[in-house]
Structure 1
Amino acid sequence: MLLGVIADDFTGASDIANTLAKGDGSSGGLSTAQFMGIPSRNVGPDIEAGVISLKSRSIPVADAVEQSLAALAWLQAQGCSQFVFKYCSTFDSTAEGNIGPVAEALADVLNVKGVVACPAFPAMGRTVYQGHLFVNDRLLNESGMQKHPLTPMTDADIRRWLRLQARTEVGLVSAATVRSGPAEVSSALRASADRGETLAIVDAVSNDDLVTIGEACANVLLLTGGSGIALGLPANFIRSGHATGKVRKFAGRQGAEAILAGSCSGATRGQIEFHARDHPSLNISIDDVMNGATKSANLVEFISSNHGSAPLVYSSGTPEQVVASQQRYGREKVSERLDALFMETAQNLVDRGLRRLVVAGGETSGAVAQALDLGDLEIGPEISPGVPVLISRQRDIALALKSGNFGEPTFFTDALVALAGGDPK
């Protein structure tokens, strides 16, 4: 294995795996596999990039660090010469962590400083300029992320936000430096290291900027960022002759289908509204889940009776509704009960022969993926920016695991078409 990625959630892992599999469009990508947690065995020589999916974004800092270091050790044992710590393109974290502590812990083990920190993902409207993170034309803290129920982002200055989490000062490589080329970026990162800065925010407002950063980091041990940070990395291995740039063709999966949505993001709520116009849809009441009136058997029966019609089950509410439920029952209890409900439902559906599964929401996707014991996931074609087809040969199913904010209004039907081997476009 050439490149190893440690991702702090499941949908983010799929996102960066997709980036590595397709590359920057100029020379091909890497043969990529996604792992649900740290594997217990070594991988074969056909895997050029491995992405370990953790569920460490919102857990206690010490646990996140411990899991990430264990993932690093496994990737080192596979022979990786470069590592990426992948977090959300909206820099989802609290003032305490977990991005800063995990990144610094990885840097300490690898004995590196001046490490890139760049959450930019221009294809999804996430750009970084002068250390500030934008979502489309809005600063991060004005984009709706300030209302996130787990990691409210109240400051767009991610250099300042990261400094709250980090032990050392945080550097900045400006857009002007990035535009000057790979050599200047490399020089700026070395200067950051010389100043004792473990991490340095690197501006990026376009894919070209990300390719420049990737080229500048051809020989560095560690990078951190959103999936976009991997855009220019496959070309480095292909140019050096260590990778071929060829990927396998996806044949598709036919048969029973289901869509499960547990995200309260604006994008997912819009996708639910669009899908529900023409397809059977079941809205889960949080009250009914908490008092036991709604059980997995109810969801399985609804989905099974509507196979062939792209059935959707969702628990997505407005941020105000989510807060009200959390205040009534407790945030952790609501999350645990919903995760358990979706996990049991997915298990029962797959045991009954489900072949195509779409899951919306990072936390929901992580819970479902863990419950299904999917084994190694092969990365298939891209459904929409940041969301690939995932193939589990162990369970013989195809999946799409979507972060809440990703995808067009037609995403759910697009995904089911792609999972069957068709072209959603």
Structure 2
Amino acid sequence: MTDFQSLGLSKGLLSAIAEIGYDTPTPIQEKAIPLVLQGKDLMGLAQTGTGKTAAFGVPLIDRLMEENTRPQARGTRALILAPTRELVNQIAKNLISFLKKTPLRVTSVVGGVSINAQIKRLSKGTDILVATPGRLLDLVDREAVDLGTASYLVLDEADQMLDLGFIHALRRIAGLVADERQTLLFSATMPRQISELAQSYLTDPERVEVSPAGRTADKISQSVHFMDRKTKTGFLVEQLQANPQDLSLVFCRTKHGAERLMRKLAQSGVAAGSIHGNKSQNQRDRAIRDLRNGDINVLVATDVAARGIDIPGVSHVYNFELPEVAEAYVHRIGRTARAGAEGEAVALCAPEEIGLFRQIEKLIGIEISVASGDVPPLSAAASRSQRGARNKGGKPGGKKPFQKRASSGDNDNRSRSRNQRRRQGSRRDAA
């Protein structure tokens, strides 16, 4: 069995990671760490919850320690980009645990909090900067940070950054980072745009893949209940009340829908909180902390949280509403069965969502077990929904790379406008 000592890490770092309980690397860590230590550009593909942060964070810290230099004022030696505030905070927390015995500094910057405090922290420079693209560019425009000093660039959850419309921000940021750099791209799924992104920003990259794109964790038990949309809330309340000690995540499509459902759950006696783009950063942090501490048992969320919550105790993920992009299902249910634990993913599917459900099954390559209800036929409306989900998933369709996705045809202005508003809302959620 491979251990961290065989991967080429320094003794000091091995001691630090051993103290926090790291003994056997995960497959993505085993394959990626030696390549990062060699200075290779890397494209890493692995399902969520497999230890990608350590796969790039541990060797990155090792290389920065070996260089033995200090960051310049307003500068950073390494830049890590992630799509959501929650994921940025999670990455920063993990990195800090790795470098307790080192002089390296980690700084995180996200939207929703005081930019002046971030400017002050960045004035002295930092070794590793973890950021959402939107807030980072705000800081660049204020001349609060100099990205030209960064010789390492990490794009984490790159597919979600594309889904949220950050491609133009990524292009600008990549142009500001040092030309002579090591670039690492990590993603849970592999749509066409990720290959094009890798060709644009990586030089002769090594590709590491430890599971097929769209594969869900093996220890997640998946089931679906078919029902009318109006009966979903009552059914969910019954499920949650039957397992009052379990920690559960419930996913909705919209901010208003998530808040409305949270209130209905609370009125039914379920200890619930919510997290979405209309919440301040302090409110979002508090909700996650309450779930982690057991002060609440249920957290209702939009997809802003699908890749930013790392709570090992989450046993159930409920898809109250199916996502419009099939890949989001993989990231939602990846919030359970963390670090080798087992978990359950339960989908509630209304007749109008059957097209979305079929797209999910196609992506993950399995038939999800039917727990109750009759499978509705694929109606004309559901078929249109299925085609829409396929378009949003970035499948080949003759469109130019990285352009904003829009429906085909001459009479789709209203659909295009809705799609643009949805992406804008998602970017506000994430930044």
TM-score interval, normalised by the smaller of the two chains: 0.3 to 0.5
Q: TM-score, normalised by structure 2?
A: 0.33
Structure (1/2) with the larger helix percentage = 2
TM-score with structure 1 setting the length: 0.34
